[in-house]
Structure 1
């Protein structure tokens, strides 16, 4: 696996960087690599014990890791302390390695872990919120409209936790019991945050309370997490559905009630201040969150101006197309609002429109999959299914999100689409969304990480993940999907403009003290997005500071590196080889991505 990875990463079409080094030189790294790889393997296994749900999502909660299928992460203050201790110890152990004795690829693996863990440990220095170790969802709030066990666990149990044997069903029951513990652990952390003056804005708490009440429900036998097990264990010896109902009724419902009561208590004292500037150390927190989201040290003002500049350039291109389509009056944003109301591009309301949307997306995914050999020499399966978000999650969720499935392919990747209202989506904007979330975006890119050492499949960097997904949108355009449909090209460009707006709005909320209304109004007018869509987006930026800035920052860096490769290689530049290099290098900070591209350039020259 490692040899294949080296060959695929460092060159294609015979230009293999490993062949540029004598075998003796490679042998010089053997002892150092073995020591580092043993440490990275231990790191991955410890990570999985702290986040057992990840083992399930990757389909590796079996054999020696079978016990992980019975467990959930500890979301209590003590559990958070164990995670922070793991980060500190791992960084200390990695710091003892002699980097000069490591091969370039193993050095990259070490640097990726160091970058991820160092950033997360900086986040744990703030005594509140959730820190995303190896992921993207950093938030100052323990539970809010898009954060919390009440959202994560039911979805994971229903879609990722496989129930094929009675043992699987028993593991599900163990997790239901742990779910109640998770809820109580979060409620304890909510109280600690409250004592430090960290309370979510009132408008976010209103959404969270509405969703929690949906999760709580009135008839526990009808809960999705109960019926999911009952349906999938039908025919097995043992009444697992009834056992799940008892746990839901006796343990989970009371834990949800306790969390509801605490959030209602905090709601009575919440304000409408939207940004983290309101906290005692809010500016420092946002600086960290912006760094975590972009893997750069750009200041809020630099990010804000970057958004304004890029939006102007994108809308200049949109203006030309709009005029050709007969939309010549008003701002670009106003004209895009008018286009979105054109009956040619809308879907029916209700379940009829929802079915239309799901069929439309699947058709576009089939088409783009057939074009992938034009963009990559090294192909993956692109194992994906389009699913509607659970209705109880939709009010506080973004328009869509996606990610890869399990390593063994038994769990497909998901393209989750928010269908609370079909008016969220238009026929000219949905194709681009499919390319971003599914192929060649998140699902496609994620499958390449399965070729890397396990620890690399566990760790993601927001700027790379989301930068790649925007680059995936660009690849679709470069492959000609919009050649005969200028309206869909406008949808793609509006998507890029949307991400440029995020740079402006996120920094506006958290650094410039914008109100929620100010952010929504600016966004609608600037990009022509609907107020319904933008309202949910702005709420997301309030709860996930800095995350939304990773998209355009990462996308811009990938294109900057592509331009550098073109200039350095001249006629030796190859479109497919560059794409291979970026995606096969794995999910890395932007600084490390530069070194991956440097190796690709050296390999092509050789």
Structure 2
């Protein structure tokens, strides 16, 4: 970290060696930039207890954060908005023309991110701009995130850690009430989630509330982990008291508040139905794609990709003797074929997880042929907690802590194994683990040449676009489906799925499609209405656009530089340059590759 003293000593050193004024200015600008990044990062972490824990930074001077959770109050929103304003102003005060190389890439990346966030917080006085316009739904709210956070990210090694866990359990009840109040304030402004999103939230909230303390992960987690570490104390009794006296009543209050809103909710799926909804979607699409593509343009890209991928599916299926019905109808038959379904039992789910771990080992051995830089951090595969699996997506990735003490985790939804036939699992694993999310995010976090702020930054289209592109690397470069034609259909299915997302997301939020119309489009093309996914897009406007838009950009850049560089093009170098640059907006990714190619 650069402080004022190091900046002064650096300036003195520059003068001592007699550097030119231009070079000195550039180094001074670089030093100011990195000092500003450090200040932004430190303020960000200091005000986010959950963020500090996720990053493994809740120790030492920040140890007190381990007993707290991020507040959801109007005061916190005002503080965060002021922080964004201050941060943007500080970056704009640094002369960009005096920066070069990765300094300029870092500058453009962070400024884009902070400006996008600031614009959202200034324009929309509801929800969480950049995430969801709705505080509590089947996918949003602390009732979804905090139980798993406490269980999987709050480390317990000492009595102090266990005490901090109990403090956070109390804070969870407070946070639930803060979010209940926040939702009620938004409802007064006319911001009400669709009825189906609220209905599922109520179901999940009741499941959590009605779980006895002895069976709750919130209580079981501290009992089990203090026992493992031989930490003396009746932690179960203390956690049970807090759970029954504070958490359960707070859950009941939130349930009552959501139930009171439900009669006011409509069945309209798109964000257009709320005040400023159309503007919010344009904002969400920009954040989701890190481009200025219009919803109409994205919709057409989706339709074109759906047509292209359906044509390829037709060829592959015909070669396998699958010729009856549309490709969507044939996919539906495959999805229901018992030979592709694991038993929907604990033993069957354990076998599924074991098979995925073996699959990761196979692809791990192939990585060195396509990547020079490999992640040091391991990845674990876990099932999504049963308490939240009803509204959760099919799979997602949780990054490792910065210090490597907690590995990366790929979560898969096993609420019903019939929803994840075996021919779909390889591609999902490449996407979430390696060479997808785990590889990309771990390399970024492990790259000490990036400022800390960049090590933890994320851009949806870059991250999800990479994961989708990595599915193609596994399929077409690594040959992972050479002896698995049904797995290759799974790869095409998932690519088609992401193309359909472009159509249905813009369809619901921009063209005012109904939830049922979007489900019908999914069903016609994929043989599955994807109800859970459609409802996800309803409450996360624009997020689903980043996958295919990002993949298209990665492929476009690869094709462009293969043609330009010819014999000089090296696939390992191409991948390493993109990954070590860290997550960036797509326009900045173009600059990264242009500067790389210019040096060859």
Q: Could you say which TM-score interval applies, normalised by the shorter chain?
A: over 0.9
- C-alpha change, 1:496 and 1:191, in structure 2 (3 Å) is same
**1:369 matched to 2:367:** no
Give the one of 205, 211, 222 matched to 1:212: 205
What is the aligned partner in structure 2 of residue 117 from structure 1?
Answer: 114
CA distance in structure 2 between the partners assigned to 1:537 and 1:218 by the alignment: 26
What is the aligned partner in structure 1 of residue 273 from structure 2?
Answer: 278
Task: Please tell me whether the aligned partners of residues 441 and 472 of structure 1 are also in contact (alpha carbons under 8 angstroms).
Answer: yes
Give the one of 40, 44, 47 matched to 1:43: 40
Give the one of 587, 594, 597 matched to 1:598: 594
Q: How far apart are residue 457 of structure 1 and its match?
A: 2.5
Q: How many residues align?
A: 576
What is the aligned partner in structure 2 of residue 240 from structure 1?
Answer: 235
Give the secondary-structure state (helix, strand or coil) at the position aligned to 2:196: helix
What is the aligned partner in structure 1 of residue 331 from structure 2?
Answer: 336
CA distance in structure 2 between the partners assigned to 1:419 and 1:500 by the alignment: 24
CA distance in structure 2 between the partners assigned to 1:241 and 1:32 by the alignment: 54
Task: Please tell me whether the aligned partners of residues 508 and 514 of structure 1 are also in contact (alpha carbons under 8 angstroms).
Answer: yes
**1:73 matched to 2:73:** no
For structure 2, which runs of at least 5 residues remain unmatched after alignment?
Answer: 3-18
Q: How far apart are residue 394 of structure 1 and its match?
A: 0.7
What is the aligned partner in structure 2 of residue 476 from structure 1?
Answer: 474
| 1:147-186 paired onto structure 2 within 5 Å | 147-186=140-179
Q: How far apart are residue 353 of structure 1 and its match?
A: 2.4
- C-alpha change, 1:168 and 1:562, in structure 2 (3 Å) is same
Task: Please tell me whether the aligned partners of residues 473 and 492 of structure 1 are also in contact (alpha carbons under 8 angstroms).
Answer: yes
Give the secondary-structure state (helix, strand or coil) at the position aligned to 2:125: coil
CA distance in structure 1 between the partners assigned to 2:275 and 2:151 by the alignment: 40
Q: How far apart are residue 269 of structure 1 and its match?
A: 1.8
Give the one of 566, 580, 586 matched to 2:576: 580
* Deviation string, structure 1 residues 421-442 (Cα, Å, up to 9, x no partner): 0011111110000000011111
Give the one of 251, 255, 258 matched to 1:256: 251
**1:508 matched to 2:507:** yes
**1:198 matched to 2:194:** no
What is the aligned partner in structure 2 of residue 568 from structure 1?
Answer: 564
- Point out which structure has higher relative CO (alpha carbons under 8 A, 6+ apart): 1
Task: Please tell me whether the aligned partners of residues 307 and 500 of structure 1 are also in contact (alpha carbons under 8 angstroms).
Answer: yes
Deviates more, 1:543-552 or 1:447-456: 447-456
What is the aligned partner in structure 2 of residue 14 from structure 1?
Answer: none
What is the aligned partner in structure 1 of residue 294 from structure 2?
Answer: 299
Q: TM-score, normalised by structure 2?
A: 0.93
CA distance in structure 1 between the partners assigned to 2:412 and 2:70 by the alignment: 26
What is the aligned partner in structure 2 of residue 489 from structure 1?
Answer: 488
What is the aligned partner in structure 1 of residue 57 from structure 2?
Answer: 60
* Deviation string, structure 1 residues 42-77 (Cα, Å, up to 9, x no partner): 100111123221221222221232222222111122
Give the secondary-structure state (helix, strand or coil) at the position aligned to 2:382: strand
Task: Please tell me whether the aligned partners of residues 180 and 255 of structure 1 are also in contact (alpha carbons under 8 angstroms).
Answer: yes
* Deviation string, structure 1 residues 453-507 (Cα, Å, up to 9, x no partner): 2111232111111001001111111111011111111100110000000000001
CA distance in structure 1 between the partners assigned to 2:190 and 2:296 by the alignment: 26
CA distance in structure 1 between the partners assigned to 2:407 and 2:167 by the alignment: 24
What is the aligned partner in structure 2 of residue 10 from structure 1?
Answer: none
What is the aligned partner in structure 1 of residue 432 from structure 2?
Answer: 437
Deviates more, 1:255-264 or 1:214-223: 214-223
Task: Please tell me whether the aligned partners of residues 373 and 443 of structure 2 are also in contact (alpha carbons under 8 angstroms).
Answer: no
Q: TM-score, normalised by structure 1?
A: 0.92
CA distance in structure 2 between the partners assigned to 1:335 and 1:90 by the alignment: 53
What is the aligned partner in structure 2 of residue 535 from structure 1?
Answer: 531
* Deviation string, structure 1 residues 365-415 (Cα, Å, up to 9, x no partner): 111111110111111135111111111111101111113211222111111
Q: How far apart are residue 566 of structure 1 and its match?
A: 1.2
What is the aligned partner in structure 1 of residue 321 from structure 2?
Answer: 326
Give the one of 384, 387, 391 matched to 2:379: 384
Q: How far apart are residue 218 of structure 1 and its match?
A: 4.6
CA distance in structure 2 between the partners assigned to 1:254 and 1:48 by the alignment: 30
Q: How far apart are residue 26 of structure 1 and its match?
A: 6.6
- C-alpha change, 1:382 and 1:458, in structure 2 (3 Å) is closer
What is the aligned partner in structure 2 of residue 140 from structure 1?
Answer: 133
Give the secondary-structure state (helix, strand or coil) at the position aligned to 1:428: helix
Give the secondary-structure state (helix, strand or coil) at the position aligned to 2:381: strand
Task: Please tell me whether the aligned partners of residues 40 and 110 of structure 1 are also in contact (alpha carbons under 8 angstroms).
Answer: no
Task: Please tell me whether the aligned partners of residues 192 and 274 of structure 2 are also in contact (alpha carbons under 8 angstroms).
Answer: no
CA distance in structure 1 between the partners assigned to 2:211 and 2:424 by the alignment: 38
Give the secondary-structure state (helix, strand or coil) at the position aligned to 2:140: coil
| 1:393-404 paired onto structure 2 within 5 Å | 393-404=388-399
Q: How far apart are residue 30 of structure 1 and its match?
A: 2.0
CA distance in structure 1 between the partners assigned to 2:240 and 2:259 by the alignment: 26
Give the secondary-structure state (helix, strand or coil) at the position aligned to 1:396: coil
Give the secondary-structure state (helix, strand or coil) at the position aligned to 1:385: strand
CA distance in structure 1 between the partners assigned to 2:595 and 2:61 by the alignment: 37
| 1:386-465 paired onto structure 2 within 5 Å | 386-450=381-445, 451=447, 452-465=450-463
Give the secondary-structure state (helix, strand or coil) at the position aligned to 2:409: strand
